[in-house]
Structure 1
Amino acid sequence: MEQINQIIDTLTENTRNLPVVKDIAQKAGVSTGHVSLGFIAFITLFMFLGIGADLITDLIGMFYPMFMSFKALESKGADDDKLWLTYWVVFALFKVVDDWSGVFFFWLPFYYPIKLAFLIYLFAPQTKGAIMLYDKVIKDFMVKHQTKIEAGLSQAGQAASLLQQAAKEEAMKKGMEYMLNK
């Protein structure tokens, strides 16, 4: 019971100035920590039941880091910028891999809670998981293949430019045909 009270106290400390949580807590007559713990329990239940789990993981994996990135951009120092820039690099790679491999793994028990725990590990300032994963795995891979990646991006840009030009010409042709047949 003591551990739960410590969790509630910590949540109260961290959420007492959040307007939505504060309003709900006042209306319910409880602390913001109790509201936060209830919300966490509610989300956890939905995660384990698989109801909206993909949406929940995406929202948590994107919204909190997006807000913290905003705060980092607006802060004076650059210390926090590295954490959030690194998180977005790792998250982008994770999202691509997850979208392609998720078809095979979504049916596994606890897939979404594990996915959410991994995302929280990546962005939590206490663990700095994104920085560790980047430094130990991604950075070496990117440096090794940087030239190939840049060449591929250049080719993709050229192909997109040609496609855009062809679409523009086709649109002009169809527009002229329409005007002449009118």
Structure 2
Amino acid sequence: MDQINGVIDALTEYTRNLPVIKDLAQKAGVSTGHISIGFIAFLSVFMLLGIGADLITDLIGMFYPMYMSFKALETKGADDDKLWLTYWVVFAIYKVVDEWSEIFFFWVPFYYPIKLAFLVYLFLPQTKGAVKLYDSFIRPFVLKHQAEIDAGLSKAGEAASLVQQAAKEEALKKGFEYMTHK
């Protein structure tokens, strides 16, 4: 029981000045820690049942890091900027892999809680999971294949320019035909 009270006290301290939670706690006559633990329990039930779990996972994986990225951009130093930029690089890769692999793994028990735990591991400043993954796997891979990636991006840019030019020409042609057939 002491451990639960310790968690509630920590959550109370952490959420004491969050307006929405503070208002709810005042209306319910409980601490912000109790509201937070209730919210966590509520989300956990939905996650375990798979109801809206993908949305919940994405929201948690994006909103906290987004806010922390905002705060990092507003500070003078660059250390926190690098931390959150690293998170977004890893998150983008995770998201692409997740979209393609989810069809094979969504049936795995506790799939969404595992995904959520992974995202929390990635963004928590205490674990710096994104930095560890980036330094161990992503950075070496990209550095090794940087020339090929740059060449592919250059070709894609050229192709996009050609498509854009063709679209402009077709639009002008159609516009001219429309104007002359009236």
- Normalising by structure 2, we get a TM-score of 0.97
| Aligned counterpart, 1:38 | 38
SS at match of 2:107: coil
Residue 180 of structure 1: how far off its partner (Å) = 2.2
Matched, 1:154 2:127: no
Letter in 2 for 1:44: S
1: CA distance, partners of 2:79 / 2:96: 27
Letter in 2 for 1:91: F
Task: After superposition, give the CA deviation of every residue in 1:140-179 in whole Å (9 maximum; x if it has no partner).
Answer: 1011001111111111111111111111111222222222
Show the 5 A alignment for 1:25-104: 25-104=25-104
Query: How well do the aligned residues superpose, as a CA RMSD in angstroms?
Result: 0.9
1: CA distance, partners of 2:107 / 2:178: 51
| Aligned counterpart, 2:13 | 13
Residue 54 of structure 1: how far off its partner (Å) = 0.8
2: CA distance, partners of 1:105 / 1:168: 44
Letter in 2 for 1:10: A
1: CA distance, partners of 2:46 / 2:93: 26
2: CA distance, partners of 1:3 / 1:110: 25
**Total equivalences in the alignment:** 182
2: CA distance, partners of 1:171 / 1:3: 68
Percent pairwise identity: 77
| Aligned counterpart, 1:122 | 122
| Aligned counterpart, 2:139 | 139
Letter in 2 for 1:92: A
Matched, 1:111 2:111: yes
Unpaired segments ≥5 residues, structure 2: none
2: CA distance, partners of 1:46 / 1:181: 60
2: CA distance, partners of 1:40 / 1:179: 62
Task: After superposition, give the CA deviation of every residue in 1:45-65 in whole Å (9 maximum; x if it has no partner).
Answer: 111111111111111111110
Residue 13 of structure 1: how far off its partner (Å) = 0.5
Residue 181 of structure 1: how far off its partner (Å) = 2.4
SS at match of 2:76: coil
1: CA distance, partners of 2:109 / 2:31: 34
Matched, 1:180 2:165: no
2: CA distance, partners of 1:4 / 1:181: 78
1: CA distance, partners of 2:51 / 2:175: 47
Unpaired segments ≥5 residues, structure 1: none
- Normalising by structure 1, we get a TM-score of 0.97
2: CA distance, partners of 1:170 / 1:21: 55
